């Protein structure tokens, strides 16, 4: 549950969840959808992911940066994510995917970093929303 946001220099997304855990799962899926086509990725490998922060905003940036690290440094292609534990200061979960294969996993946009630019995490009457911009 996410939508891509237009920006002059970067790319962003707005994501939704009924709980903070669902919000963080959807944000990771939005990030990976920007980087590559997730639909062709098989869920063959589980990668533990975790991050710490001072609040939900910094926690989300650090969580997404952890996902981006595995994509770039570990050459992982992710299909989906599951958050098993979340507080405003810590998140832990699992990324499901497989090793990146250039023949099968078509890349889209190279994301250099997750930014704090116009970052928002908000609780609403329907759940949680976040807006995140990426440096591309």
Q: Which residue has the higher pLDDT, 90 or 124?
A: 90
CA gap 84, 113 in Å, rounded: 24
pLDDT tier for residue 8 given thresholds of 50, 70 and 90: low
Is pLDDT above 80 for 1? no
- What is the SS3 assignment for 66? helix
pLDDT tier for residue 7 given thresholds of 50, 70 and 90: low
CA angle 70, 75, 76 (to 5 degrees): 65
**pTM, 2 dp:** 0.91
At 61-110, the pLDDT tens digits run: 999 999 999 999 999 999 999 999 999 999 999 999 999 998 888 889 88
pLDDT averaged over the chain?
93
Q: Are strands 2-5 and 11-17 parallel, antiparallel or unpaired?
A: antiparallel
What pLDDT does residue 9 have? 64
What pLDDT does residue 4 have? 67
What single-letter DSSP state applies at residue 7?
-
What pLDDT does residue 109 have? 86
Give 103: exposed, middle or buried? Use CB within 10 Å, 0-12, 13-18, 19+. exposed
CA gap 28, 15 in Å, rounded: 10
Domains annotated on the chain, with CATH: 2-135 (3.55.10.10)
């Amino acid at each position: 549950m996410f939508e891509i946001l237009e920006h002059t220099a970067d790319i962003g997304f707005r994501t939704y969840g009924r709980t903070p855990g669902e919000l963080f799962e959807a944000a990771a899926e939005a990030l990976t959808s920007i980087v590559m086509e997730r639909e062709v990725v098989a869920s063959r490998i589980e990668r533990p992911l975790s991050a710490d922060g001072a609040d939900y905003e910094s926690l989300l940036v650090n969580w997404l940066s952890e996902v981006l690290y595995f994509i770039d440094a570990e050459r992982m292609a992710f299909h989906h994510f599951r958050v098993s534990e979340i507080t405003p200061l810590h998140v832990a979960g699992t990324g499901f995917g497989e090793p990146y294969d250039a023949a099968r996993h078509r890349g889209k946009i190279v994301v250099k970093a997750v930014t704090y630019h116009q970052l928002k995490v908000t609780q609403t009457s329907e759940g949680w929303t976040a807006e995140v911009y990426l440096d591309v």
